[in-house]
């Protein structure tokens, strides 16, 4: 058990009951030329956290604590992509259309894959999710129950969308959740800042936040 001097108060991390959830560190969101950049976003912001996320993953692997990765993607026939999601906004290309890295956010396409620097090992679980939250229409609940997990540490992108959605879902299901605040990022810095405040407001109404160094130190005991 390692105590993290987290915000808004200490978080007692139990490696025997914890897992790291790395959200959507995919080529289409992070690499130049991908879907994220095609929407007018500065992907360099997301790319900047890759070394920190890598250090966090390495800390969990060293401690032999489960690492679970997620990917936002859809079936090739788009049967799990509601029109309300696909048709929203005014992008030059939509989910399922041909992009620079294959069909956009379609399972099995190059752009959907996790970036090489953070590639899962052969034994790590990868959850393919059709929504923003990682619990919706996935096997994540069953996976966590099978592993005996009650605490979740989060990293990944984007802070205010898929990361926060999954944290709120986890909170509603009774998990203790903590976000590694320097291992997550948004295309919009003000959105990240607001999300961190929302998560830890009112006595950790959603969860805790801490730095990657604090989490890794706690894992080492």
How buried is residue 172: exposed, middle or buried, by Cβ count under 10 Å (0-12/13-18/19+)? Answer: exposed
Residue 80 is among the residues annotated as catalytic for this protein:
no
How many Cβ atoms are within 10 Å of 101's Cβ, its own excluded?
18
How buried is residue 80: exposed, middle or buried, by Cβ count under 10 Å (0-12/13-18/19+)? Answer: middle
The answer to whether the CB of 2 falls within 8 A of the CB of 15 is yes
* Catalytic entry in 81, 162, 182, 192: 162
The answer to whether the CB of 153 falls within 8 A of the CB of 19 is yes
* Dist CA 45 CA 104 (whole Å): 21
Residue 73 is among the residues annotated as catalytic for this protein:
no
How buried is residue 18: exposed, middle or buried, by Cβ count under 10 Å (0-12/13-18/19+)? Answer: buried
* Catalytic entry in 24, 71, 73, 182: 24
Residues 6+ apart with CB under 8 A from 176: 11, 150, 151, 152, 207, 208
The answer to whether the CB of 57 falls within 8 A of the CB of 4 is no
Residue 77 is among the residues annotated as catalytic for this protein:
no
* Catalytic entry in 7, 71, 129, 132: 129
Catalytic residues: 24, 129, 162
């Amino acid at each position: 058990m390692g105590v993290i001097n987290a915000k808004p108060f200490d978080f007692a991390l139990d490696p025997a009951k914890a897992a790291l959830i790395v959200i959507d560190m995919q080529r289409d969101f992070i690499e130049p030329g991908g879907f994220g950049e095609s929407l007018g976003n500065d992907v360099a912001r997301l790319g900047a956290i890759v070394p920190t996320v890598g250090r966090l993953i390495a800390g969990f692997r060293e401690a032999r604590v489960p690492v679970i990765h997620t990917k936002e993607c859809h079936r090739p026939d788009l049967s799990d992509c509601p029109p309300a999601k696909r048709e929203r906004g005014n992008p030059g290309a939509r989910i399922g259309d041909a992009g620079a890295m294959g069909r956009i956010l379609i399972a099995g396409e190059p752009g959907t894959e996790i970036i090489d620097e953070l590639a899962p090992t052969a034994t790590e679980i990868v959850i393919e999710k059709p929504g923003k939250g990682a619990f919706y229409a996935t096997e994540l609940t069953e996976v966590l129950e099978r592993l005996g997990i009650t605490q979740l540490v989060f990293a990944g992108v984007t802070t205010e969308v898929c990361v926060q959605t999954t944290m709120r879902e986890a909170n509603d299901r009774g998990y203790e959740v903590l976000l590694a605040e320097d291992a997550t990022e948004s295309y919009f810095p003000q959105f990240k800042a607001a999300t961190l405040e929302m998560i830890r407001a009112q006595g950790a109404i959603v969860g805790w936040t801490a730095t990657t160094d604090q989490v890794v130190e706690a894992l080492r005991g």
